[in-house]
Amino acid sequence: MELRHLRSFVVLAEERHFGRAAARLHLAQPALSQQVKQLERELGVALLTRTTRRVEVTEAGARFADHARTVLADVERTRDDMALVASGRAGRVSVGFIGTATYDVLPRVAREVRRELPDVELDLRGELLSPPLVAGLADRTFDLALLRPDPLGHPDLDVRVLRSERLVAVLPEHHPLAGRRRIGLGRLRDEPFVMHPSGHRSSIHERVLEACAAAGFEPASVLEVSETATLVVFVAAGLGVAVVPEPVRSLGLEGVSYVALTHAPTVDLALAARPDASPAARQVAAIVRGCF
């Protein structure tokens, strides 16, 4: 049974005349008659009763025409859906975000994708660190990731810097320096620090240590936490001070004060994708870049 036979029968059932149906289908009348006979042999029922002037659809023929219309409509919907997938306007895209991008970028991306690509299903995961995001791109857990680019580069990924973010100090709200508009990082040399994990688990840890070294000191004690929101909560609890990218302000947590740093160091935020990203992932990546 071929789709062209279904189309032919639906038209014939509507016209109830071989000549008019053949004209609509741009077929020779004998070819149309052969298609109907082939369907009747395959189905084992009479679909039409024929007279010299008219064609009448049998009860079986009417039911078959309904089924044929359903199949043809499903095929058309499938064709339309595949066209959306091919153009990147439908599909599923998984995006991972480092902690700081979770607070201000993730909501914006979600709104824009929903508005511009309503048929794309987004899987968004925030509060992650850059190394797990790179690994997630490699094992295809993620299609896209907003992360801190490695200074050594990611040769297997397409990495594009979106913005540079100034580092700011996070102090408990009752800290003596909390009311200042700007401070030198060296003013915090005697404070315990709350920081992201060391080693290869976080890219921001080394950047903060470099900033402290440039200010002439090394933190005397360090408390490590993985989630940026938890880091700020620990500062609010008086467990130390922290240095974080400025977008962390978007958290809006109480009990802390954000103070600008003199000659503030910066860190980059980048969008990373595999070279073989799907059309939908490329469309979402374009929206992410547009948000900046």
What CATH number does the domain containing 18 carry? 1.10.10.10
Q: Largest alpha-carbon pair distance within the chain?
A: 104
pLDDT band at 282 (very low <50, low <70, confident <90, very high): very high
Q: How far apart are the first and last CA of the chain?
A: 53
Cβ–Cβ contacts within 10 Å for residue 276, how many?
A: 8
**Coil vs helix vs strand at 46:** coil
Domain final position from 67, 87, 107: 87
Q: What is the mean pLDDT of residues 219-240?
A: 93
Q: What is the CATH number of the domain that holds 234?
A: 3.40.190.10
CB distance 96 to 125 below 8 Å: yes
CA-CA distance, 171 to 158, in Å (whole number)? Answer: 37
Q: Domain of 175?
A: 165-266
For every residue of 269-292, DSSP letters joined together read EEEEE-TT--HHHHHHHHHHHHT-
pLDDT above 90 (res 21): no
* Pair 204, 153 in one domain: no
* Pair 116, 205 in one domain: no
Identify the weakest region by mean pLDDT among 171-175, 231-235, 249-253. Answer: 249-253
Give CA torsion, residues 237, 240, 243, 249, to 10 deg.
Answer: 10
pLDDT above 70 (res 152): no
**Coil vs helix vs strand at 203:** coil
CB distance 253 to 126 below 8 Å: no
Measured CA distances, 8 to 27, 42, 75, 114 (Å): 9, 15, 15, 40
182: β partners: 260
What's CA 216's distance to the chain center, in Å?
Answer: 42
* Pair 64, 129 in one domain: no
* Pair 218, 231 in one domain: yes
* Pair 144, 213 in one domain: no
How high is the pLDDT of residue 52?
Answer: 63
* Pair 116, 256 in one domain: no
pLDDT above 90 (res 85): no
Mean pLDDT of the chain, nearest integer: 89
* Pair 79, 61 in one domain: yes
How high is the pLDDT of residue 112?
Answer: 94
* Pair 82, 69 in one domain: yes
pLDDT tens-digit map of 41-84: 988 999 888 876 778 888 888 998 899 898 888 888 778 767 77
Number of domains in the chain: 3
What tokens appear for 262 in the block?
């003199």
Domain final position from 87, 106, 125: 87
* Pair 56, 185 in one domain: no
pTM of the model: 0.72
CB distance 66 to 57 below 8 Å: no
Domain final position from 62, 87, 112: 87
* Pair 34, 178 in one domain: no
Beta strands 48-50 and 55-57, pairing class: antiparallel
How high is the pLDDT of residue 73?
Answer: 83
* Pair 212, 124 in one domain: no
* Pair 187, 199 in one domain: yes
pLDDT above 90 (res 18): no
156: β partners: none
